[in-house]
Amino acid sequence: MHVSNAEIETLTCKAAVGVGLPVGLAEEAGAAAAWLSAAGFAGAEIAYRAIENLRKGKARPVIVSSHSESLCPDTKGKLASVMYAAPSIFDFLQTTSPVTVVRLDEPLLLFGHLVCSSSIPAVELVLHSVGSTGEVLQGVIQRGHGRLEGPPLSNQEAKNGSEVSVTMVGISEDRNFKPTKKEIDVRRVAIQRGVAVNEAIWTELKRLAAQTLVPESVESKQRGAGAGLIDND
């Protein structure tokens, strides 16, 4: 099925809140998922996996490791939830570089998050991710644009997550990059026509988002705006 980018952002946010994520984090996850979708990645599916990791207890919030400067899951043996880690990585990058996180569950969502966060400051971010089975994901991010280097990956999730390092560097003229025609075209089509999502995943996201809704009751229905009115006037 086809959905709009706004729907991806909104539904991801609500689904994340539905499983208990604080709204400030959920809003940023929604924006990241929408950016990924518009850039040709499976944003909704990636976000769904991250939400499910949290819901099932497979992934956990992050803390600063007592052994090193990196972020790690707050529970031994669990993955680091990207929904918690991504906003904090950008926060820490503003005073420290590089920032690393171990056992991250969905590096691509971090990539989308960094792209969205980078739209204002004039910085370049370099993301380097190594999965537990050795696969490498590398991305460069500048002013709201992001580009993955190497083979395109839709998912880097692995049993033990990925070790990700993000480095912030100043932008110089020679490092300034602009979106390619292909990147522009992908985004244009996504904005013009919406994006395709897996219908089963979409249904699951809606089910999770429904946990933010208050079930209907006779009393609440009667207290709604315009209650009891039949407008034949």
Partner 1 sequence: MRSSLILRPSEQVMRLERMGSAFQTRISFMRSLVRRMHREAWTIEQTRFELDGNGFGVAVYSACGPERSYSLVAFANPLDDDQRTDRVIAEAWDASFVLYDGVPSDEDIARLKLRAPRQEAGRFEGSELVLSRANRSMRLFDYVCTSLAAGVQPDITRLTEVGYLMRTTAVYGNGKFGVGDRAKIAGRPELAGPFQAELLTVYLIRCFTLDQVEHVAKAKSSGQFVPLERSRKRFLGIGNATGLGMAPFLITHPELIHRWAHARENALARVRQVIDAAPEKIDRFQVLLTRARKHLDEWQVEDSRQWASILETRSGVARIREWISVEDSPLAEKRPWDRLYQMAEARLSVESQEFLVSLLIELYPELVDELETTLSSARRSSIDASQSMHELRSTIETNYRWALEIDFERPGSQQHFWYTSANKLEPRFGDRYSEAGADREMPLAIARDVQQLYRQLTVTDDAVSLAQYLLSNPQHRHVVRRIQANAIDTYGEIQDNLIDEDCLPLHLLRYKLAFFGASKFDPKSSLWTRITLFQGAPLPDELHREDADDWCFPVAPTAH
**DSSP one-letter code for 76:** T
Q: Does 24 bind partner 1 (CB under 8 A)?
A: yes
Footprint on residues 64-123 left by partner 1 (CB under 8 A): 64, 71, 84, 87-88, 90-92, 94-95, 116-117, 119-120
Q: Does 220 bind partner 1 (CB under 8 A)?
A: yes
In this structure, how many other beta carbons lie within 10 angstroms of the beta carbon of residue 232?
Answer: 4
Q: Which of 75, 122, 177, 191 binds partner 1 (CB under 8 A)?
A: 191
How long a stretch of residues is the chain? 233
Q: Does 206 bind partner 1 (CB under 8 A)?
A: no
Q: Does 216 bind partner 1 (CB under 8 A)?
A: yes
In this structure, how many other beta carbons lie within 10 angstroms of the beta carbon of residue 220?
Answer: 11
Tokens representing residue 132 in the block:
């537990």
Pairing assessment for the beta strands 123-131 and 136-142 based on DSSP bridges: antiparallel
Give the containing element (helix H, strand E) for 147: strand 145-149
Q: Does 194 bind partner 1 (CB under 8 A)?
A: yes
Binding string, residues 120-139; x marks residues near partner 1 by CB under 8 A: x-------------------
The 3-state secondary structure of 101-139 reads EEEECCHHHHHHHHHHHCCCCCEEEEEEEEECCCCEEEE
Q: Which of 63, 123, 148, 186 binds partner 1 (CB under 8 A)?
A: 63
Q: Does 223 bind partner 1 (CB under 8 A)?
A: yes
Tell me the one-letter amino acid at 151: P
Q: Which of 16, 19, 31, 47 binds partner 1 (CB under 8 A)?
A: 31
- Phi, psi for 127 (deg, rounded to 5): -105, 130
Q: What are the residues binding partner 1 (CB under 8 A)?
A: 1-7, 10, 22-25, 27, 31, 61-64, 71, 84, 87-88, 90-92, 94-95, 116-117, 119-120, 191-194, 210-217, 219-221, 223-227, 229-233
